Structure formats: structure tokens, C-alpha cells
Chains A and B, each alone.
Chain A
Amino acid sequence: MKFGIFHELATPRPFTAEVETQVVMNALEQVRLADELGFATVWAVEHHFLEGYSHCSAPEVFLTACAMQTKNIRVGHGAVVCVPEMNHPIRVAERAAMLDIVSGGRLEFGTARSSTWTELGGFQADPNATKRDWDEYVRIIPRMWTEERLSYDGGCFSMPERSVLPKPIQKPHPPMWVTVTSAGTELDAAERGLGCLGVATASYQEQERRTQEYHRRIQQSNPTGEVNDCVATLNFMHCHEDLATGAQRGMQFLGMFGLLNSHLLFTREAFPTTAYQSLAGLATPSGPKGGGNPGAQYGVPDGVCIGDPASIVEAVKRWESVGVDQINFLLNACELLPQDQVLDSLRLFAREVMPAFANGGR
């Protein structure tokens, strides 16, 4: 089991320069500490127009800053939106390779296709085309990184023979992932040899089913690039010596995250298409079933890493038992928790939780 931290850069209103700066500076401080404490990876999402929820529209810039301020932690470009209207495939390959170089070969390269109309509509992208286009990206980008020169005649773009430069440090190329929100995308990951980067919550049982099938299928994959047989999931983390305090603080930012998430207009809700199978409520906790009652109160949901060290160790052990290789943690939302509480939580987690796992969770 390895541990990572995951940044959306959720930002409180009003969106002043001071507030935006503070959110980024706090995130960078968390990254520096996570590096010192032995966390494996810092991930940064790519989102656009998601007011409050995520102001991380240029993750490669943020991750460059992370790389420059740390020594060991890997930088997770998680994930680049592989939609031509947002990111041309050549530019994606170029930027990622440069990030691998400046980080000294610490890049983890995630791919995604965006799940909201807020983003796709903003770039006037066709939701029906995103799966098809993503597939082209994950086939061609490894070739751009590994072939001295190439030409390409494809569906979403074409290019005459050129040398895409620079090439990444890691050989044959940085590990590749795809974000998984809907059930079934883990099979897309397996068949393409990609790591499974979970960004939505699933129950232990559901995760176990997905993980087993993923590991089975990836053995039969024949991808363009190198196989990355790995399952990572997203979780919320707040660790405190006192269970009640940890739960109270953690649920506070988890609730805020869910509310911010609810503002988003998911593609499936607004645009009828078979390309998006679920509403993909990113990382919202599952509440009591069957009522549809928006006033229902949440406790700490099963499997969420909020509480004291013992309760978190227990949750992580269960995730480990169902085949999860890495858990990436959201630490705050809209700066709801003071920075010192977030840093203390990280330190306590490293001191009390990580040693319970092989290699100290590193």
C-alpha cells in the first residue's frame, strides 16, 4: 500500500487574488510536508470553469512548482483531459515529457475525458466524441514519447512526420493511468494496460469486484505503451488523536466538498449520450439509501479515512484487502480546515498509520 495526496485546489469565494494565492501556497506547503513524510505521490487534477470546486486548470504548472520544491514525491498529472478542444495531443506529450524532465523522472501521467457539461460545453466539445478521442490519445502519446519521429493520420487529429520533443526521462515512458468514475472504465483501463486511477467512491465490495476483474483483464492487454498494473483510489483523510474531533473536522470538509460537487452540471444529466454512463458524482459520500431525502444526516461513511489513527488503519487495511495498491487523499476543501490542522493531520497519519503497512506505506 502506498499513499498519495490529491489536489483539486477548491477555493472559497470571493475569488480574489489573495484567496487564490493562499489556496495554492497552502497546497504547496502540504506537498512539501508530504514529501518529507514519505507520501508516494501528489496528484493534481485538470478542471476548468468549476467555480469553487476546483481552480486547478493548469496542473502542469502547479506540478512543476511541486517538483521544484520536493525531492522524492512523484508528481501525478491526474489527469490530463484528452479532449482535442482542451488539449492538443502533441502539446500533451510535450508538456508531460518536460514535467518528467524537470521532476527528475517523477511523473505519473493520468488521462481523462471530463465528466461535466460545465467543462465540455465550455470548450464546445462533443460529449459523444470523448471516448473515441481519448482512445486515440492513449495510443499515440506513448509513440510520441518513444519514437524518434512519427506521422499520424487519425480521427481527432493528424500530423505529418515530426519529432515530438523532448522525450521523457523514464523509459520507455512515464506510467500511464486513466481516471475511473463509472463502473466499467476499469475494464477500459485494463484492456489498454493503464493504471486504474479511481476518483469516485465505491464500496469495498464494488471495489473488490472491479479490482479483481481489472487485474485479470490487464494480463491479457496488449497496449501501445508499457503496462501499469496498479489500482489507486480516492479518499478523504483527516487524522486526529481523538476520534470525535477527527470525525467532526473531516466530515466538515467532506460535506463542503460534496456541496461544491453538487453545483456541477454532469454531462449525463444535461446531454443524453451513451458515452457517459453515470452522473459521476465525484467523491461524494454515499448516504443512507432508499429515501432520496436531501436532509439526511451523514456519519463518517464506511471506508472513509476520517477519524483517529486506529480507525483509519482499519479502513486502509480493508482497502488493501480488496486489492487497492494506492490511496490518494483529499485533505481539505475551500480552506475550511485551518492549514495547521491539515499539516498536523498529515504528520499524525505518517507517524501512526503509515508504519502499519509494508515499507511504512512508502
Chain B
Amino acid sequence: MLQGTANISDFERGAPSLADFETEALVLPRASVLQVLYEIDSDDMCALLPPALHPTLPPVVNWSFYRFPDTPWGEVNLAQTRLQCRSGLRPRGLLLNAAIDNEAAGAALASRFGFRSERAEVSLRIGYDEVRGQVEFDGDLVLDLGARDPQPLGATTVQFVSNVHPAQTPAGFRLVQVDFQHVVERAEACQPVLDEFDAEAWGDERIEPSYPISAAYCLADVTLPKLRFVCRPDVMAFEGTEPI
């Protein structure tokens, strides 16, 4: 079977520190959510993941944009790049990096959920013909993607996989499982369009998007619940998962 082979130190660099495990749930109502999935080149699919995780066939990159109009820190626009993968038998998204336009929110997400992010310009433009997400790091466009030709979907049709955040924790360096919950009010399936992705800027230059899979746009209440599990990064999740 396949298993991640990446060096753990690759994920430790720049990893946020989780203050403690007693994080309270964070409710973020009325979010606009754009999720786009692409297949990526499979040559390095195991090398992109720590040994705790294993890839999907084919390997997949998952981008998601969130506009949170109402948070304790004001409006927040956030974009994340994840590798869709498996922890044991379960679908997960390994967070490579995120972009956020609200510094206080970024700091809070890092200390409470081990959510790594960088200050950036993040925009989510919502039209009737297309939803478009863009990210600029220091004025450089590093992600530009769209979701065209929206078609209505059932509210429970779009699937979201839980996040896995490499982070320093009170138990040591761990993969922190964060089960983003989405209660979707409205959903649309769209045609994915990728115009720009600077893989190096997102943390791993080996990620090469190769084939479009899907795009979806949703209005949803999003909750980051209390943490339940962390996982040692160096052994398979069956062995390394630790309840909190």
C-alpha cells in the first residue's frame, strides 16, 4: 500500500504553536465558500505527505476560499491549499498553507487550532456567471481560480473533508485534526478554472495541478469544533492517533 514518505522536518518549519488542547468551538455564520479540486501529478504523491498519511488515487489538491462576514475579529477572507489524503481509512485535507487578510484572526486560528496562515490579500468575487478567488502574497498573484456556470445542488451534496494541521502542541509536534463543519444553506456545482497557482509560494513546488475535477460554491454556517484528536506525524494514523 501507499504511505507518505516526507521528512517530518519539512512540516515543522513555520508550523504554528497550539497554546493548549482546551480550545472552545468557533462558530462562523453566513460564510461564502468556494471549493475547487484538481488532480495533481502523481510522481511525488507519497513524498508530499508525512508517514501518518497516505495519498488518494489520483492525488488531489483542494483549494478553498472562505468569506466570513461576522467573526470576533470582524470580516475575514481566507484561502487554504490542502492535499486531499487519508488518515487511516478516513478522508482528510493536509493543510499546506493558508492566506488570510485579518492578522488578529490569523493569530487566533493559529493558537487555537494550529492553523497556519500568512497575511495576504484574499478576494472572493461572487457573480451569477462565475465565482472567482484570488490570493496575493506581497503583491504577487499566487492563486487565481474560478468556478463557472453554477448549477443548483442539494444542500448536503457538497462534501468537505476535515483538516489536518501540522503544529507544535503541548504533546509535541503533531498533526492536529480539525473537523470543519459546514451547515450548507445553498450550494452550486460549477466548472473549475485555474488561471494561476504558484506552488512554491504555498509551500511545496512539487505540486503540479494536472486535471480539473470540480468546483462548488456554497453559503454555509461554518464551525470549528473543539479538538478531538491529534496524530503523530511519523507513523501511520492507526498507530499514532491520540485522543485529546
Chain A contacts to B: CB under 8 angstroms? 13, 49-52, 117-118, 121, 256, 258-265, 268-274, 279, 281, 284, 291-295
Contact = CB atoms under 8 A, between A and B. Distances in A.
Q: Please name the 6 residue pairs, one residue from A and one from B, whose CB atoms are nearest each other, closest first.
A: A294-B88, A295-B241, A294-B237, A262-B89, A265-B56, A271-B214
Contacts of A261: 89
A294 B158 contact: no
Nearest to B215: A272
B238 interface: yes
Given A259-B89, A292-B179, A294-B88, A272 B60 contact: no
Given A264-B56, A271-B213, A272-B157, 8 more contacts: A50-B57, A121-B39, A263-B54, A263-B56, A263-B86, A265-B84, A268-B159, A279-B91
A271 B37 CA distance: 8
Given A269-B161, A273-B157, A274-B154, A294 B57 contact: no
Contacts of B242: 295
> Contact size class for B?
35 or more
B38 to A, nearest CB: 10
A295 B237 contact: yes
Contacts of A258: 89
A261 B88 CA distance: 11
Nearest to B59: A265
Contact of B1 (A259, A271, A272): A259
B153 A263 contact: no
Interface of B: 1-2, 37, 39, 54-58, 60, 84, 86-91, 153-154, 157-159, 161, 179, 187, 189, 211, 213-214, 216, 228-229, 231, 237-243
B90 A274 contact: no
Contacts of A49: 57
Contacts, number: 98
A51 B60 CA distance: 16
Nearest to B241: A295
Give the interface centre of A117, A118, A264 by most chain B CB atoms within 10 Å: A117
Contacts of B216: 272
Contacts of B231: 294-295
Nearest to A255: B238
Nearest to A261: B89
A281 B90 CA distance: 10
A284 B86 CA distance: 14
A295 B157 CA distance: 28
Given A262-B89, A263-B2, A294-B90, A272 B214 contact: yes
B241 A272 contact: no
Contacts of B161: 269
Contact of B57 (A13, A51, A271, A293): A51
B49 to A, nearest CB: 12
Contacts of A272: 153, 157-159, 187, 189, 214, 216
A281 B56 CA distance: 13
7 contacts: A121-B211, A264-B57, A268-B159, A270-B213, A272-B214, A279-B91, A295-B231
Nearest to B153: A272
Contacts of B60: 265, 270
Contacts of A52: 1-2
Nearest to A49: B57
A306 to B, nearest CB: 18
Given A50-B57, A121-B211, A121-B213, A270 B37 contact: yes
A294 B159 contact: no
A293 B238 CA distance: 9
Contacts of A271: 37, 213-214
A7 B106 CA distance: 51
A262 B211 CA distance: 21
A287 B90 CA distance: 12
A358 to B, nearest CB: 37
A22 B238 CA distance: 30
B243 A294 contact: no
Contacts of B154: 274
A295 B58 contact: no
Given A292-B228, A292-B229, A293-B229, A274 B88 contact: no
B87 A121 contact: no
B2 to A, nearest CB: 6
Contacts of A118: 57-58
Nearest to A259: B1
A70 B169 CA distance: 61
A117 B158 CA distance: 15
A121 B243 contact: no
B100 to A, nearest CB: 25
B194 to A, nearest CB: 15
B30 to A, nearest CB: 20
A284 to B, nearest CB: 6
B37 A294 contact: no
A51 B1 CA distance: 9
A265 B93 CA distance: 13
Nearest to A12: B1
Contacts of B87: 294
